[in-house]
Amino acid sequence: MRLTDSHREQFRSHGYVVVPGVLSDAQLSAARRTVATMLDREPPNGFGVHFRWPSLASGHPLLKLYRTAKIAELAAQLIRPELPLLEPDQAQVAVTIPPWPHVPGSPHVDGVTPPLEDGSPGSFTMLAGLWLTAHDQVDRGNLYVWPGTHRTLGNYLAEHGADALTRVDEMNPGPYPDVPLGDPIQVTGPAGSVLFAHYLLAHNIGGHFGAADDVRRETLYYRLRTETHRANWRDVVTNPLLEFRS
């Protein structure tokens, strides 16, 4: 699958892009069986959003999915060609069980709390979200995003210093710095789509307003980093398009 110039331009300007038709029906079915097995072993406690954080050891089915769906190859089409991606060592399974009539308030940026052992934030290049269930309707556990805030936050960090990401007491509840946000949108699309979102993009998980017998929302997230990201994270967060193709 090839991304277009329009895909790249949307990512650069809005901080995210949805690519439909990435996962096959067979891949979706296998991934949902894996998620069901995980939740059978550790059942969710009630309605709302639930996370699991499997380590992706060699042979893990979610690592196999990442490889066979060619997520790295797709993501690389957004990233400068001289910056290869590391393979993720962990996934995030996000499941939203209805009814959960929740509207998020402030957004957040990932990896800020807790910080890494050296005190730096757990920043990464971008998020890849694989939609195992349909996100065609709003208020069904959709991700809320604030378009363009990757650049707004990058400007804030260029002014205040990259280490402002580590000063959580200076941030709004979320946590996310006090920057102009604009209006959020709920990202929509069919099952089998992949969402790519910039690390600095303001986002949060929305509620699932469906009935108790409605399909729960299931998404797999992989946090992707280039090989040089950790060494250069200060430059990257103060120049948010540094790692990406024009």
Which pLDDT belongs to residue 168?
A: 87
Which pLDDT belongs to residue 139?
A: 97
Instruction: List, for residues 108-127, the tens digit of each pLDDT value.
Output: 999 998 889 998 999 999 99
Helix, coil or strand: residue 127: strand
Region 89-94 average pLDDT: 98
Which pLDDT belongs to residue 58?
A: 87
Region 70-74 average pLDDT: 98
By residue count, the chain amounts to 246
Which pLDDT belongs to residue 74?
A: 98
Instruction: List, for residues 43-71, the tens digit of each pLDDT value.
Output: 999 999 999 999 998 899 999 999 999 99
Alpha carbon of 199 to those of 3, 213, 223: distances in Å? 19, 34, 9
Alpha carbon of 32 to those of 35, 96, 189, 216: distances in Å? 5, 14, 18, 11
Task: Give the separation between CA 2 and CA 192, rounded to whole angstroms.
Answer: 16
Which pLDDT belongs to residue 174?
A: 85
What pLDDT band is residue 171 in, cutting at 50, 70 and 90? Answer: confident
Residue identified by tokens 């103060």 is 238
Structure-token pair, residue 171: 């941030």
Task: Reply yes or no on whether the pLDDT at 212 is more than 90.
Answer: yes
Specify the range with the lowest mean pLDDT, choosing from 101-105, 125-129, 146-150: 101-105
Which pLDDT belongs to residue 172?
A: 85
